[in-house]
Amino acid sequence: MLKLYDFALSPSPRRVRVFAAEKGIPLALISVNVREMAQFSDSFRAISPNCTVPVLELEDGRRLCDSLAIWRYLEEIHPEPPLLGTDAFDRGIVEEWIRRIELEGYQAVAEALRNGVERFRDRAVPGTVPFAQIPELAVRGRKRTALFMEMLDRRLRDSEFVAGRRFTGADIHALVTIDFAAAACQIAPPDTLAALKTWHAKVSARPSAKA
């Protein structure tokens, strides 16, 4: 079975668990407690040189150390249901939305969290190199997170799912980002963003959301 080095409270491994659940791919989960700095142990450093989760380990021992790279692999080995697009143009649209969510949403929340709480002092960027916090980035990250939610709400007024008429990886990335903003930064979409809230309730009700 495929192994996933995971941490239940972290958004990046959740992206992989939800994606695999949508496809019905079983994963053997191995928890790496990043709250207790287990990612910096010698044993995990040998598995993930950047000391981050998730890591997917194949049965032959090869590894992938990035959530979206793991998506690509899972989509190739298990094409149904397609989560990264169905034809050339659709794959482009899904990719476009995944990148927007990563850059405008996920990075904004991560910046707000990692520059704003004591736990990440001198660890403002994930990985092995220490970076001091920049408090202004926490303020900017919160503002960008709010703008991201407004942008997504506008999109969802016209589109059933983030990348169009089908549920895709873009919905998973957006769901994980919205939940991360609430859990880590206490930023929830205001009631005025009705399309975003309706979509969030719909995708949260999928069994995969609990993976």
Residue type (1 letter), 76: E
Interface stretch with ligand GSH, choices 63-71, 78-86, 150-158, 187-195 (CB under 6 A)? 63-71
Q: Which of 149, 159, 162, 170 minimizes the C-alpha distance to 22? A: 170
Told to check if 11 binds ligand GSH by CB under 6 A, we report yes
| Residue 38 C-beta: closest distance to ligand GSH, Å | 10
- Distance CA(74)–CA(70), nearest Å, equals 6
Nearer to ligand GSH, 12 or 115 (CB): 12
Q: Which of 152, 129, 132 minimizes the C-alpha distance to 200? A: 152
Q: Which of 48, 211, 19 minimizes the C-alpha distance to 127? A: 48
Q: From the list 4, 5, 6, 12, which residue makes contact with ligand GSH (rule: CB under 6 A)?
A: 12
Q: From the list 44, 56, 57, 67, which residue makes contact with ligand GSH (rule: CB under 6 A)?
A: 67
Q: In what order do the strands lie in the sheet with 63-64?
A: 27-31, 2-6, 55-57, 63-64
Told to check if 170 binds ligand GSH by CB under 6 A, we report no
| Residue 24 C-beta: closest distance to ligand GSH, Å | 22
CB 211 within 8 A of CB 17: yes
Told to check if 126 binds ligand GSH by CB under 6 A, we report yes
Point out which residues bind ligand GSH (CB under 6 A): 10-12, 34, 39, 51-54, 66-68, 123, 126
